[in-house]
Chains A and B, each alone.
Chain A
């Protein structure tokens, strides 16, 4: 035992904050907290045997450390091995074959742009994930038309999320049929609903949810709180180098303006006159893609920085492009949510 090593499983990654660390389990999608000194120890434990670790501490400290080690072994965050060199660290590279990976399309009663055309452009770009937000009521006929446009494409849009405003003329059953007909619609959220309701399709990820909240416009976004945390490999690795909200995202606001996010000020051209491809290839458009959490004030000291989704639309200081998200209430220097 004394000449073996304690090794974290490669999918359990330490993120050091100012006062404590998180140990993020990107395989099982959870995280725990660790004191900074324990996480420091674990970061070097691949080259120091257990015996060497314990011999450099007092009996009391060693006892404390060994309690943490027991916990990590017991809960399968770490294992003992004689050959740490056989277990390389996980590469944290992130890459994608797609120029654009995700998109938000906003539409309300005043919108005049051609939504079917916008979607077919996204298909052409190879954008796999699309969210369409309707702030005001739309009829079933319009939805069918829009979705038919998608189903005629090449199938590169793989999942579609619809945010719809409550419309008493469309029944739950009709929405259910809609998803059955277009299984790429993985979720329908109906906002401004007088009742709450949730339906999960058996043996699939598709779901329908009715919520009371009225989503009036694009300002309903950018919240940062533990309930929105994500611990998975794709998100964690992307966040290392890229912006965790805006990287390879393209958006069309309700006026047809092409933006990084509908809630941001800067537009790069209108969908009526410019193509999504043209806009997305502009280097100015891509600037925000590279603002990772390590570049953002305060966030760079936070132990949650690869778990939360950043927001560049609402920040504490709009004049500073590296300012902390306005709607994040966590302080990594006091470890308090306010």
Chain B
């Protein structure tokens, strides 16, 4: 049987499940946020067994696991409520508890085939990605992590004054009342350093600014690449980051055929990071460079499946079914 770890209301999961039903595959869906509502997990620990039950189904019945989504615990009502009590102390305790629980689940899944291996996902960070991508033959942006103003200024100078600063971990949006603050890639110029008073700061990732021709979003599944070109440079609002969506006039999203060398390099990279699926971001520059930015193992494939008519939901269902055999 197939186990799907996801969240309540994930539309992409719903659509893939429609195809699993169509092909008469057996599956169990676990909405991780529903563990606090109506799903039952029971894990008896002793020397003789290391299995547990999910809604009365034994973990041994699951031979294929699709790790679709996990990180919504922090938006669960328990977390939100805990933030109003004891500020961050309680919520951070709960986060660690939750992480330890997920860790305990992994132990008992031994002979399973993963679509999106939870271990590989957790071991993935931006620096490691860039190093492995570069080793796999992919072009990466010139990058520096530093906490020093002079090092940073020197690096930016070498890039002809054009660079971007972006989070080492994840982009975030903070809500404060009606205001929203977004931490996302931003242009960085030499003027910035002149105004900067401190000599040291929290280690930060600085990368060369790439003069985009198009952005590429690639969905990778079992060695196949489904690519889409995003014409974000046609619109000033989306030039630096296409996620500053223009809803009135959306960017053009069209199918793209990757050069075979890039496909081979991506396959090699994905093998090295231990992932059989993921959404890959790349940029094609005006001078023709194909630059790898990052892979998001649990990216929204819906945003390329629909405009490119790739039927990725069906392909994922078939991939899960193939893994059963």
CA of A233 to CA of B257 in the docked complex: distance in angstroms?
A: 20
**B254 A97 Cβ-Cβ under 8 A:** no
Q: Chain A's interface: helix, strand, loop or mixed, by majority? A: loop
CA of A60 to CA of B255 in the docked complex: distance in angstroms?
A: 35
Q: 0/1 per residue, A239-250, Cβ < 8 Å to B? A: 000000000000
**B307 A27 Cβ-Cβ under 8 A:** yes
| Number of A-B pairs, beta carbon distance below 8 Å | 60
**B250 A11 Cβ-Cβ under 8 A:** no
Residues of B close to A79: CB separation below 8 A: 231, 252
Interface residues of A (CB under 8 A from B): 9-11, 27-28, 76, 79, 85-93, 95, 97-98, 126, 233, 237
Least CB distance from A183 to B in Å reads 12
CA of A138 to CA of B311 in the docked complex: distance in angstroms?
A: 41
**B21 A93 Cβ-Cβ under 8 A:** no
Q: 0/1 per residue, B219-241, Cβ < 8 Å to A? A: 00000000001010010000000
Least CB distance from B307 to A in Å reads 6
Residues of B close to A93: CB separation below 8 A: 309, 311
CA of A92 to CA of B311 in the docked complex: distance in angstroms?
A: 11
Cβ contacts A to B, 20 pairs, < 8 Å? A9-B231, A10-B254, A11-B254, A27-B307, A28-B250, A76-B234, A76-B249, A79-B231, A87-B254, A87-B256, A88-B257, A90-B255, A91-B309, A93-B309, A95-B311, A95-B314, A97-B18, A97-B314, A126-B18, A233-B309
**B19 on the interface (CB 8 Å rule)?**
yes
Given A11-B253, A85-B257, also A90-B18 (CB < 8 A)? no
**B296 on the interface (CB 8 Å rule)?**
no
Residues of B close to A126: CB separation below 8 A: 18, 21
Residues of B close to A28: CB separation below 8 A: 249-250
Residues of A close to B308: CB separation below 8 A: 10, 90
CA of A93 to CA of B256 in the docked complex: distance in angstroms?
A: 17
Residue of A nearest to B229 (CB): A87
**B285 on the interface (CB 8 Å rule)?**
no
**B58 on the interface (CB 8 Å rule)?**
no
Residues of A close to B254: CB separation below 8 A: 9-11, 87, 90
Pick from B22, B255, B307: contact of A87, CB under 8 Å: B255
**B42 on the interface (CB 8 Å rule)?**
no
